[in-house]
């Protein structure tokens, strides 16, 4: 499957004029929740993870909150293994921890999954949380790598189902601003009942 084309088909990958969380402007935005609110579409894209790792004797699939939780669950379901989740630490630190009574068998082979890779911060926090457990981290897998191949994880193999280069500009250099195209801040649009019905592909 051409993942980028599929994300466009289900309207998760959008074209327009967007204000990114970094403060930069871009003409493309991938709204992961427009994928994750569609169970059938999410199952279909997670099949890419399951097919890639079905012969690798994975024991547990781990994902960071928020989007990675759904991907970890569905990928684990398709691989018929356990899932675990790396949540924000409760001690006020910036890290993550695996809690709620989750335990790992010694030597368990772990696959870490997440949605969109840019700087890799949430994945690094998840890998750090796993150092407190007796596991072998087999690989990191993401839906889309937007880092331009510049993000790595200290020897842990990285698998991306798709790669995407996204142009972005400071506001005072943005060609879309100069053309007068209205700016959208993702996450501020109110959904209608029709939007929630989603695409049933």
Output the pTM of the full model: 0.85
Mean pLDDT of 73-96: 92
As beta bridge partners, residue 191 has: none
Give me the pLDDT at residue 111, please.
Answer: 98
Give me the pLDDT at residue 188, please.
Answer: 61
Closest of 100, 24, 92, 93 to residue 69, by C-alpha: 100
Give me the pLDDT at residue 167, please.
Answer: 85
Here the CATH number for the domain that contains residue 188 is 3.40.50.2020
**In contact, 144 and 3? CB cutoff 8 Å:** yes
Per cent of the chain over pLDDT 90 is: 71
User: What order of strands is seen across the sheet that includes strand 108-117?
Assistant: 96-97, 82-88, 60-64, 108-117, 135-145, 158-163
Looking at the structure of the chain, the number of domains it has is 1
Domain that holds residue 173: 3-197
Q: Please give the Cα distance from 111 to 124 (Å, whole number).
A: 13
- Structure token digits, residue 61: 């699939």
**In contact, 136 and 110? CB cutoff 8 Å:** yes
């Amino acid at each position: 499957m051409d993942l980028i084309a599929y994300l466009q088909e289900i309207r998760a990958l959008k074209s327009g004029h967007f204000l990114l969380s970094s403060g930069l402007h871009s003409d493309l935005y991938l709204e992961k929740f427009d994928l994750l609110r569609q169970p059938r579409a999410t199952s279909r894209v997670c099949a890419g993870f399951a097919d890639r790792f079905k012969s690798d004797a994975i024991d547990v699939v781990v994902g960071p909150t928020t989007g990675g939780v759904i991907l970890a669950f569905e990928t684990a379901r398709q691989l018929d293994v356990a899932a675990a989740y790396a949540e924000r630490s409760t001690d006020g630190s910036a890290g993550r921890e695996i809690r709620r009574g989750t335990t790992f068998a010694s030597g368990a082979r772990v696959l870490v999954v997440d949605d969109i890779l840019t700087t890799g911060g949430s994945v690094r926090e998840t890998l750090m949380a796993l150092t407190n457990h007796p596991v072998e981290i087999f690989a990191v897998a993401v839906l889309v790598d937007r880092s331009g191949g510049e993000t790595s994880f200290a020897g842990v193999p990285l698998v991306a189902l798709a790669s995407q280069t996204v142009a972005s500009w400071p506001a005072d250099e943005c060609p879309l601003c100069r053309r007068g195209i209205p700016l959208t801040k993702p996450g501020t649009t109110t959904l209608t009942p029709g939007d929630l019905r989603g695409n049933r592909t």
